[in-house]
Amino acid sequence: MWSFDVSSFMVLLGEQEELNYRLLRRSYVECFSAAPVAGLQSYMHSNVQLFDIVGREYISPYGGKKAPCRNMRVDLSIKLRDLLKDGRYLCYAIDNKSQLTQSAFKLRYLFLTTFSWVFFAGIVVFLAMGWGNGDATDDQIRVTSWIGIANCAIYSGWSIILRLLEHACVEPVVVKPSSPDDPDAVIFLGRRNSCLVLEGSRGDIAKYTGAGLQPKESPIANLAEVVMRLGSLLVILFVFVSIPNGTTWDQIAFIALNVLGQLNVVVGQRINASYCETFRHPNEKKDAETRTDIYAFLIRKFGNGKWVDTAGFIPDTEIWIQWRKAIDADPNKHKNNPLDPKQEYERIKKRVETPTGKRTDWLVQGPLY
């Protein structure tokens, strides 16, 4: 009789993907999914890991600062929707009137949860129909056993309990900035010549960038975390002790259940990535051949203020200082024929160079002795 290495099917995606899903704070509808968690090991760690993780860094042209994005739904949306694709800059405006309604989100979650229960029911029916077929004392012809049903039921049941306990332990941060109706914006820079700008009120920007997760301060929450860690350990021990003694079809059914759990993580993350649908259609969407085009776009939009120096995304050299001033002073910067950023850079570069062809912009801070 041949058997499977069941442990390898429990971590196809790894516990990091399950942790990423947890950072999105699943809805109650998702908590009742029959799909097991894809990384049970991640629940054996302290919930502190949920509060320390942050997303990509953003620049605030109004506040003149750089900070990490703590709303992991926005960070995931940027990643999965490829909003920082190389060679493109986008500018979205947050419009609460056109936001995707909560009912639309719940409908997608409900469909995913319903599918998981249909799939789980199929596995249980298969195991029940095969239980007792053949000679129960002959492992070679016995189809299924109690081991398959017990493992599938316990793993899925404990996963539901885990997700509900986490709801009792963790809550989203409520950010209340001063003057919430004032205009604000944040800038996400891509790895090359790309950027994403989100514009809205200070209240909207705070919600979309600063609303991370925090622990609930209550004795019940502390007890729930202990139960999560201890219970997950016991379930893992039960699985690894019992499944190797089950039949081949017990193991196949358990593998199928784990595949369902991993599929649930992948699809669930994609559904949550639709969070960017709450942004209004981009009012600016252009291609950028070089990083210089990105810098010019941002200076024309937000001005050549102190925020540029604070953010530090443009080199602090004589060429770039003069280039920034030229782009900002361009009388046609908001018209159809603004200065070409790359050509203007090359023009200033030639002017700054010495007669011998050596650049002196590195001396902007004064000579070194």
| Range from 195-199, 243-247, 296-300 carrying the lowest mean pLDDT | 243-247
Structure tokens at 56: 């990509």
For the entire predicted model, the pTM comes to 0.80
pLDDT-based confidence at residue 160 (cuts at 50, 70, 90): very high
- Among candidate residues 7, 75, 68, the one with its CA nearest the CA of residue 41: 7
Show me where the domains of the chain are located: 6-55+95-180+211-278, 290-360
pLDDT of residue 27: 85
pLDDT of residue 96: 64
The residue-averaged pLDDT of 48-68 equals 88
> What digits encode the pLDDT tens for the residues 176-232?
888 888 999 999 998 878 899 999 889 889 888 888 888 888 778 888 888 999 999
Compute the radius of gyration of the chain from its Cα atoms.
Answer: 27
pLDDT at 20 over 60: yes
| Range from 4-8, 187-191, 364-368 carrying the lowest mean pLDDT | 364-368
Residue 129 and residue 121: Cα distance in Å, rounded? Answer: 12
pLDDT at 139 over 50: no
pLDDT of residue 261: 92
pLDDT of residue 97: 61
